[in-house]
Every structure is written in structure tokens, then in C-alpha cells.
Amino acid sequence: MKIICEKSKLLHGVNIVLKAVPSRTTMAILECILIDASTNEIKLMANDTELGIETIIEGEIKEHGVIALDAKMFSEIVRRFPDDDVTIEADASYKTLITCGNAKYDIIGKSGEDFFYIPYIEKNKPIVISQFTLKEVIRQTIFSISDNDNNKLMTGELFDLKENQLKVVSLDGHRISIRNILLKEAYDNYKAIVPGKTLQEISKILSGNADEYVNTYFTDNYVIFEFDNTTVVSRLIEGEYFRIEQMLSSDYETKIRINKRGLLDCIDRTIPLVKEGDKKPIIMNITDGNMELRIKSFVGTMNENISIKKDGKDIMIGFNPKFFIDALRVIDEEEITLYMVNPKAPCFIKDDNETFIYLILPVNFNAASN
């Protein structure tokens, strides 16, 4: 095999597929990036058996062939090259010569025949979403997945397709994030749980351009994302997702309209008093026209007042400040609406059209000690 391509294009491709290289594995071939120049295209590929990424890069094929190279070493070599053409040559014994300018590397690769290729999957009608929308949806929900593998379902996000509406849901047992998207076409109803890791890696690759699109295909066991010259294939998480409908009541006793930035900044100012592992809540004391926020921790106290518009009853309620901050940071509206029932019921943050819904469970506290 012999190929020539620009360093910038090669590095861009390497950085894309590198996201599917496992950090730990007992199989050395999975630690490799495959360079496949067996056809008229140069494909780079990585696969950890759960997530596979393939991307096509521009370049010249002098001799067709396939070689697998250690991903970490190969990426570090390419990254350090000057901005010039890179030539990669591999012989039948997998000895590989990589040159750029006056720099030359002789390394030993592995047989492409041993590589775990991305499985061929028959595709149905694609769900078409702009790169901007998909990137935003991931950003606005991914923070509330669980990082605990004890409950695998919580480490993924539900994609719930009903005609021309797509609902994306994540939860970790303390909060729920929901984004509702209106699609341009109608589709058959379908539900799938996409691993959070897959969505996080895709989000890093997406350009976020509103004029560029992602074709998404679901099968019984896999999801495929195709965009630009890249294909991402991921196994789905098996199981039935949590029934959250009964938690999404529209009833409320207290409705608050508040400036989002003001609330976010105020809650953020409590963080210096919250030490690692400290579960002290922030207390919201809500009365007519005013929200008093206060926190009392082992190192000190803080309180602040914010003007609000309130409908309904007064309420005093406590929350984990981090959970509120995570939700507020991804909401783009200048003003937000909070809905509350009582100090033991969830708080909802949502817009009028329910394009986003954030549910945050309260924290029990002793009002007398605060």
C-alpha cells in the first residue's frame, strides 16, 4: 500500500476515528487505526466493538492495500509533522514507512485482515436532522445521564420517534432532561436507547452547521449516524426505558417567571461553599415578587434575593445546586418559567411549547435549621 495526503486532512481524519479507539482493551488490534486503500477511496477506521467510526479522507492512492497502525503512536506522529504531504507505504510484512518533509518513521503495523470492521447494516429510511440541531440536543440533555454502569439504561438516552416528532430523554435518578424536536417528515413510531458515550463522541465531531445534515438510521441492535464523509455505528442499549409519563404532570401550585442569567449567577455563587461530597442544598424561599436563595454549609453561609413574577402559593424548597446549574447553562432563553407543587415534588423548568423540559427532584431539608 502507498498513499499520499495532506497532513491537515490526514490529521482531521485521524482525530475523528480516534474517538472509537478504546482506552483499555486486551485485544491489541482494537488499539489500531485501520487505513483502508483497497478501493478508490482512503478510509480510516476504528472500532471498539461497541462504537465504530469510519471516515473518508482526500488523498492519492499509489498502491492499493490495507494496514492497521497503533492509534496512539500514529496520531502522535501525524500531529507532529510539518504542514506538508504525508506518504504512507506498507509492504507485505506490515513494515510501514511514514514520511513528511525530511522526517521519516519506520514502524511495524498489523494485518488489516485481523481488524474488526464496522458491520454492514441494512439501512431503512433515514431520520434527517441538521448538524446544529443534533449537536444542540446532545448538549442540552447529555449532562443528566448516569455515569454508573450499575443501571445501563441510565447511561444512554432515549430516542422516541412518533410521526414527525422526536423526543430525546436522559435521566440519572435525580433529574430528567427532555428535548422535543419537530422533524420535516413523518416516520414510523420507534424507540431506541443510544449510549451516552456515542452521543458525546458524535457531538465532538459534528460541525454544528445548520445547513449540513445528519442521516440517522435505527435497526433492532444498531444506530448509524452519517454526516460529511463520516459514518458512526453504535450498538444500542437493550431494555425498556423508564416510564416517565406519570412524572410529567402539568399541575402546579407555584409558577415563577425569572431571569435565567440572574438565577444561574446567583446559584453559581453558592458553589465556593459546597465542598466535595457535601450535600448541602440551596434553599429557595419564594414569596410575592421575591426569591431568596440561601445556603448553609460547614464552611459558611450565603444568601441573595432575586426579583421574580410569581403566580400561586409561597413555597420553600431545597435543591442540589449543581443540578440547577447544569440545566440553566444549556437553556438559551433570557427568561424561564419554573413550576412547583410542594417541597417534596419535582420542579419543572420548561418553555410554553415544551421544546425543552427539565425535571429536578428536591432535597429534604430542615427549614428550622436554615
Contact 132, 213 (CB under 8 A): no
Angstrom distance (rounded) from CA 297 to CA 283: 12
Burial-class residue 352 by CB neighbours within 10 Å (0-12, 13-18, 19+): exposed
pLDDT at 370 over 70: no
The partner residues of 337 in beta bridges, in order of sequence, read 257
pLDDT for the residue 12: 98
**Which amino acid, residue 124?**
N
Work out the pLDDT band at 368, boundaries 50, 70, 90. Answer: very low
Domains and CATH numbers, the chain: 2-114 (3.10.150.10), 127-242 (3.10.150.10), 249-369 (3.10.150.10)
Edge to edge, the sheet with strand 42-47 lists 66-70, 32-36, 42-47, 51-57, 230-235, 222-227, 213-218, 127-130
**Which distant-in-sequence residues (6+ apart) come within 8 Å of 120 by Cβ?**
none
pTM: 0.93
The string of pLDDT tens digits covering residues 184-233 is 999 999 999 999 999 999 999 999 999 999 999 999 999 999 999 999 99
Instruction: Tell me what the mean pLDDT of segment 330-356 comes to.
Output: 96
The string of pLDDT tens digits covering residues 37-81 is 999 999 999 999 999 999 999 999 999 999 999 999 999 999 999
Instruction: Tell me what the mean pLDDT of segment 80-100 comes to.
Output: 97
The string of pLDDT tens digits covering residues 238-255 is 999 999 988 888 899 999
Instruction: Tell me what the mean pLDDT of segment 251-274 comes to.
Output: 95
